[in-house]
Amino acid sequence: MRIVLLGFGSVGQGIARAIHTKDLGITITGCADSRSGVVDDAGIDIGAALERKQKTGYCGDTRITPMDVVATAEYDVLVEVTPTNVTTGEPASSHIRTAIERGKHVVTSNKGPIALAYRDLQAAARRNGVCLKYEATVCGAIPLINAMQEGLAGNTVTRLLGVLNGTCNYILTRMSEEGLTYEQALMEARELGYAEADPTYDVKGIDAAIKLVILANTVLHLDKTLDDVETTGIDLLTPDALRLADEQDCTIRLIGEIVPGDGVLRVSPRIIPKTHPLVVEGTLNAVTVETDMAGEITFIGRGAGSTETASAVISDLLSIRDRYVQGS
């Protein structure tokens, strides 16, 4: 199976490394970062592209744009992992539409296009007979979308409650357990590749709110936008608030909640007992889904990180290969 990889930051490099080191039967025929690109229909040298990126900051030739790659390379699946833009969804939305119109399948970790235009993109994919998959947009390595769409098919979800942002969880854990300041903990999360390109998306609760919109629209059959989510972040939390919670054997976590029955979507820091199942450490995410038939199920796993997000992207790719791509 041949893929084009757009986005060569933390997530893109994680995918490239996984394809380079594991025998997955995947060839990368083009890749691009925001300032350069490379196309080779016989398969690019992934090791060389990774090394070039490390040394120069560019994965390819500065005369080749991401759109050149998506519009001209030979491939079966576009992997779109450029940074999220929640206002316009661009340039990812245009990359995705171009690939779909060329009859290519799409796998993305990019939350912007899925939160803003899921129905349009899915309709375009159906018209063109291709598949659009987006497991990596929510909760990193946890196969939550797949589990809810397939494993819990037929259930009615009465409530979803969870820790959906690894960066905030990492910051809160480091502040309460190691006594780091908010700024120190945020700097660490950025250095470790957990935070968004614009980390205000993380700390202001926007990233968690986007994930709720994606879950609402793609899994729970609601029709929500970011404006429908009541959102409060962790950026104004003081160390005193964490200390006070600690004195009561509680801690603070940024919690996202959907109650489908009354259409409520909200994200806010909440004080919860330390023994609560949603009190997870570091970049872990945890999501409890309440359903009519399966009862209550909690998913816990790594919600952010290069390899962890690559895990979700690769799983989407292999599922497309097994269902749609012949001869690979």
Tally of CB atoms within 10 A around 227: 8
Binding pattern for the stretch 50-79 against ligand HSE, x by CB under 6 A and - elsewhere: ------------------------------
Binding of residue 316 to ligand HSE (CB under 6 A): no
β-bridge mates for residue 160, sequence order: 258, 289
Q: Which stretch binds ligand HSE (CB under 6 A): 22-30, 162-170, 246-254, 313-321?
A: 162-170
CA angle 110, 5, 188 (to 5 degrees): 55
Smallest Cα–Cα separation from 116: which of 223, 208, 199? Answer: 223
Least separation in angstroms between residue 114's CB and ligand HSE is: 12
How many angstroms separate the CA atoms of 180 and 191, rounded?
15
Residues involved in catalysis: 211
Please, which of residues 203-262 interact with ligand HSE by CB under 6 A?
207
Contact with ligand HSE (CB under 6 A): which of 30, 140, 205, 301?
140
Binding of residue 5 to ligand HSE (CB under 6 A): no
160, amino acid identity: L
CB closer to ligand HSE, 27 vs 167 = 167
Rounded to 5 degrees, φ, ψ at 42 are -85, -5
Tokens of 146: 């797949």
Query: Tokens 């120069």 identify what position?
Result: 56
CB closer to ligand HSE, 39 vs 314 = 314
CB closer to ligand HSE, 49 vs 114 = 114
Count the residues of the shown chain that bind ligand HSE, applying the rule CB under 6 A.
11
How many angstroms separate the CA atoms of 28 and 216, rounded?
33
Give me the residues that bind ligand HSE (CB under 6 A), please. 140, 165-167, 194-196, 202, 207, 303-304
